Structure 1
Amino acid sequence: MAHQQRSQGRLSPSGDTQDMGELTRLLAPRLAYFAGVARTEHVTRAAQEMNVPQSTLSRAMARLEQDLGVDLFARHGRTVSLTTAGRTFLASVERALAEIGRAAEEVRADADPATGKVAFGFLHTMGAETVPGLLHAFRADHPRVRFSLVQNYGEAMLERLRAGELDLCLTSPVPDAPDLVARRLDEQKLRLVVPADHRLAARRRIRLAEAAEEIFVTLEPGYGLRRIFDALCREAGFRPRVAFEGEEAETLRGLVAAGLGVALLPPPTVARPGVVELTVTAPRAVREIGVAWLADRPDTPPVAAFKKFLLSRRGSLLP
């Protein structure tokens, strides 16, 4: 009869997602209590070890069995023993509690001021020199802070920022969105890159309009540098003819060296043979570099320290 009463109060095992979510919400607070009673096989002793009233623990176990609709314990006076269903349930509960413990320890470790972790995103073009230099300088005062590094183009990094996968990112253009906070840190001059045997290779300076008839290689649509390139060409009064679209600046430089077009790119980390890089005098060809983070999300101490460090590098971010 008692088993029938418990069955009437439990949620239907229909497999419906909403029902399962409700069942999980109801069961979760009682799992540690269940594990404690199962470990001691004595309600009074378990209540003493967990520092909760015995009546609270007894009611929690009774409600747990009612919600599940099965008997987890066989009662023997003041002691209890697990039923077959109870042993099956305990194995999964112990794994779940262990996983929760590991997760709690991980997030606590990541937030540790001295040894915590920063998830940091940045543009591909900043990976060879700028970011290693920044991390080296930061770790002089924070030698044990760990980093999870992500290289990607701007929009992809902002998506990961919004998804909670990144704490901070260096990107260009500097985003302007209500859910983000962004600060300009520096700017980088863009150059017209031409093959070494090109008709313009003897020049040092050039107006972008003088390249209006050239074939260009550039980044794919969606990249921040591509948007800047398109805007500069419009300002210079022409629509560029694009032969190749790529995903990485140094690949484009290689295409230029092979004579497949010209490109508007930031300076290389190391000079590449086979190309000449010309200063663009008009329009003003630069890209702004900024740091962005999600608004209204609290920082852990290591993230706050690294953010403060980046903001202190305004005007001197780039080598």
Structure 2
Amino acid sequence: MAHQSSSAARLSPSSDTEDMVMLLAPRLAYFAGVARTEHVTRAAQEMNVPQSTLSRSMARLEQDLGVDLFARHGRTVSLTPAGRTFLASVERALAEVERAAEEVKADADPATGKVAFGFLHTMGAETVPGLLQAFRADHPRVRFSLVQNYGEAMLEGLRAGELDLCLTSPVPDAPDLVARRLDEQKLRLVVPADHPLATRRRVRLAEAADETFVTLEPGYGMRRITDDLCQEAGFKPRIAFEGEEAETLRGLVAAGLGVALLPPPAVPRPGVVELTVTAPRAVREIGVAWLEGRPDTPPVAAFKRFLLSRRGSLLP
């Protein structure tokens, strides 16, 4: 006959799942050990716990569930049908906990751990591969989970615990984040090869006031910088196309669909000319950011130190 107790009432269908887990979790490994050996004394010896503690734990577990998990036969026990059903799920749960524990330990290993690193799309061709190559010269087995995204999305990734560090622009200023300026990158006015300005090497941004612009979408750091620089130059840009990739924008410029403010390309793009902007000062600051107060694993701490050591020489 199944045991009944006031504890069983706490596991009624209306109970919170969190309360159930808190109630049962500490006893699951004990239950699996007894089920494996079918002997309380032997299980207690293998798990290095007093037999009395193990016996009381199993009795309370049955009381809390409101069912018999074991049939007693002197010093030995055997699982009831309910116990076999429960054991199958308990073993899966314990195996998942063990897998998760091994994963987080592996990710924190100083030599072979993992860094979740975010960066802007425009830094993916040269800057980030060069950084990773230099870092792995001294940390050859550290692993990376790499995420390319726009600035605001990466900051949300930091807050959500999906990223450890990110390279972004503009350098964020938020109370829950720590950010350090690492370098700055000059921006160019990109025009079609047959544009009247294409014969020039330098240009004031105000000279493009009547041009149609192609830009990144709102929320991207370069879009905000473009809007701010144009405002500083005395005009609001007339925008024809918005995109998500700098190289896509260069393609639109090459097709004669507008001009753009962009960082230098990794490889020169045919069909466009890139002009130095003399006024206003057209640069974007590149910085590294992380979440305030979050402890670093050894590999994350090592990569953070490496990035900070590259101040002023981050960009190729």
Task: State the 1:78 CA deviation.
Answer: 1.5
Q: 2:269 aligns with which of 257, 267, 272?
A: 272
CA separation of 1:102 and 1:18: change in aligned 2, threshold 3 A: closer
The answer (yes or no) to whether the contact 1:172–1:290 under 8 Å persists in 2 is yes
The answer (yes or no) to whether the contact 2:5–2:64 under 8 Å persists in 1 is no
Task: State the 1:19 CA deviation.
Answer: 5.4
The answer (yes or no) to whether the contact 1:6–1:65 under 8 Å persists in 2 is no
> Alpha-carbon deviations, 1:276-306, whole Å to 9, x = none?
1110011111000000011111111111111
Q: Provide the secondary structure at the position in 2 that maps to 1:106.
A: helix
Paired with 1:197 and 1:53, the residues of 2 have a C-alpha distance of 86
- Give the % identical residues: 91
TM-score (norm 2): 0.96
> Alpha-carbon deviations, 1:26-61, whole Å to 9, x = none?
100100000011111111111111111111111111
The answer (yes or no) to whether the contact 1:191–1:280 under 8 Å persists in 2 is yes
Task: State the 1:17 CA deviation.
Answer: 4.7
Task: State the 1:218 CA deviation.
Answer: 0.4
Give the structure 2 partner of residue 13 of structure 1: 13
The answer (yes or no) to whether the contact 1:35–1:94 under 8 Å persists in 2 is yes
Paired with 1:7 and 1:18, the residues of 2 have a C-alpha distance of 15
Q: CA RMSD in A?
A: 1.4
Q: Provide the secondary structure at the position in 2 that maps to 1:166.
A: coil
Superposed, 1:50-69 pairs within 5 Å as: 50-69=47-66
Could you list the runs of 5+ residues in structure 2 that have no partner in the other structure? none
Task: State the 1:15 CA deviation.
Answer: 6.7
The answer (yes or no) to whether the contact 2:4–2:63 under 8 Å persists in 1 is no
Paired with 1:6 and 1:38, the residues of 2 have a C-alpha distance of 25
Superposed, 1:159-308 pairs within 5 Å as: 159-308=156-305
Paired with 1:131 and 1:187, the residues of 2 have a C-alpha distance of 15
Task: State the 1:172 CA deviation.
Answer: 0.3
CA separation of 1:74 and 1:7: change in aligned 2, threshold 3 A: farther
Task: State the 1:4 CA deviation.
Answer: 3.5
> Alpha-carbon deviations, 1:97-129, whole Å to 9, x = none?
111111111111111111111110000000000
Paired with 1:235 and 1:287, the residues of 2 have a C-alpha distance of 14
> Alpha-carbon deviations, 1:225-277, whole Å to 9, x = none?
10010011111110110000000001000100000000000000011111111
Could you list the runs of 5+ residues in structure 1 that have no partner in the other structure? 21-25
> Alpha-carbon deviations, 1:188-210, whole Å to 9, x = none?
00000000100111111111111
Paired with 1:7 and 1:318, the residues of 2 have a C-alpha distance of 63
CA separation of 1:7 and 1:227: change in aligned 2, threshold 3 A: closer
Paired with 2:221 and 2:85, the residues of 1 have a C-alpha distance of 54
Q: Provide the secondary structure at the position in 1 that maps to 2:4.
A: helix
Paired with 2:172 and 2:295, the residues of 1 have a C-alpha distance of 20
Q: Provide the secondary structure at the position in 1 that maps to 2:110.
A: coil
Paired with 1:10 and 1:278, the residues of 2 have a C-alpha distance of 72
The answer (yes or no) to whether the contact 1:122–1:171 under 8 Å persists in 2 is yes
The answer (yes or no) to whether the contact 1:145–1:302 under 8 Å persists in 2 is yes
Number of positions where the alignment pairs a residue of Structure 1 with one of Structure 2: 314
> Alpha-carbon deviations, 1:152-190, whole Å to 9, x = none?
000001111111011100000000111111000000000
> Alpha-carbon deviations, 1:49-94, whole Å to 9, x = none?
1111111111111111111111000111221110000011111111
Paired with 2:36 and 2:8, the residues of 1 have a C-alpha distance of 29
